[in-house]
Amino acid sequence: MSSTAEVEGVQVAIDSDRGIVEARQRGRGMALKLGFSPGAATLVATAISELARNILQYAGRGEIVLQQVERIGDRGLAVLARDQGPGIADVQLAMEDGYSTAGRLGLGLPGVRRLMDDFDIVSGVGSGTLVKAVKWRRS
């Protein structure tokens, strides 16, 4: 993703369900403005919901940053989810379908990876988590 140019983004604090709803709505709106199909905009909104819900559940607070990104001939929407929570002890395990420390379905992070075109996660115990996921507009 290093060859991607980023434009100033929109930050949404995630510290309650209201923040999740706001991030989802703003992400869907940005995707539509960038020319994404309604279906693709909904996929972006779903990914944002999953990431924001994880922030609230595991870290208590954090933020979602939405950025228009461009690379040669392509325009996309980057979603950054970051927190200063406890971090993920085993990122590889957390990316497996069905793994959950909360007794849920364990589809959140693997689902986001499938919904988006690019996905990267950096996390460590005690250092929080940063997820960057990008959806590229299909011409």
Residue 59 has pLDDT above 60, yes or no: yes
Question: How would residue 73 be classed by pLDDT, with cut points 50, 70 and 90?
Answer: confident
pLDDT band for 2, please (50, 70, 90 cuts). Answer: very low
pTM across the whole model:
0.88
Q: Rounded mean pLDDT of the chain?
A: 89
Cβ pair 61, 20 in contact under 8 A: no
Q: Confidence class of residue 24 from pLDDT cuts 50, 70 and 90?
A: very high
- Taking 60 as the threshold, does the pLDDT of residue 88 lie above it? yes
pLDDT-derived band at 19, boundaries 50, 70, 90: very high
Question: In the prediction, which pLDDT does 106 show?
Answer: 41
Domain hosting 70: range is 5-136
Rounded Cα distance between 104 and 82, Å, is 21
pLDDT tier for residue 107 given thresholds of 50, 70 and 90: low
Count of domains observed in the chain = 1
Using CB atoms within 10 A of its CB, is residue 10 exposed (0-12), middle (13-18) or buried (19+)?
A: middle
pLDDT of 5 reads 56
Question: Cβ distance 83 to 55 under 8 Å?
Answer: yes
CATH of the domain at 95: 3.30.565.10
How confident is the model at residue 39, as a pLDDT? 96
HSE toward the beta carbon, residue 115, CA cutoff 13 A:
24
**pLDDT of the residue at 48:** 97
